[in-house]
Amino acid sequence: MRLATNRRLLSIRLLLVHALLIVAVASTVVSGASEKKVALDEVKARLDRARTPVERVLIQIQISDLLLREVKDNVSLNDTKSLSDWLEQYRETISMARETILNSGRDPQREPDGFKHLEIQLRQHITWLISWKRKATDSKPIEESIAMASSIQKEMLDLLFPIIGEKKR
């Protein structure tokens, strides 16, 4: 009788431990998603406080990176609506970064900061997007993002390393 009671107590304790572990894991997952949202909001707030064009571009690059990481971690490649929404935000952000650096009045050969950072990060983003394209049900939003990122990346390369004899833009 005593042995049966001890086994029941042990079983109850194991169930409680497992329940606590499940709750801990679930709360970690939920807090991780909310932390990313907070991080994205904090970075967007930093963008409002940025003073120089290079500072703004670096923050816009960070935002674009956070957006793609959110897609990678939390958006199903088969959820076309959600994927399209997140990638639209991404395209807007890299487009704003492009406009910011182009309108800064900086010479890309003499002051490459901003231009080179954008080009390097877009190179990484293009690699991610290409790998996602193979797995997605509807690859149209990914293809649009690849096209825009590739176009901006090529433009940054052309500005940083113009062909000899070609006029600067």
87 near 142, Cβ under 8 Å? yes
- Tens of pLDDT, residues 133-169: 988 888 999 999 999 999 999 999 999 998 865 555 5
- Tens of pLDDT, residues 138-147: 899 999 999 9
| Residue-level pLDDT at 101 | 97
**Under-50 pLDDT residues of the chain:** 18-21, 24, 26-33
| Residue-level pLDDT at 91 | 98
- Residue type (1 letter), 148: M
Element holding 146 (H helix, E strand): helix 140-160
* pTM of structure: 0.75
| Residue-level pLDDT at 8 | 72
Q: Tell me the C-alpha distance between 133 and 119, whole Å.
A: 21
Q: Tell me the C-alpha distance between 126 and 64, whole Å.
A: 12
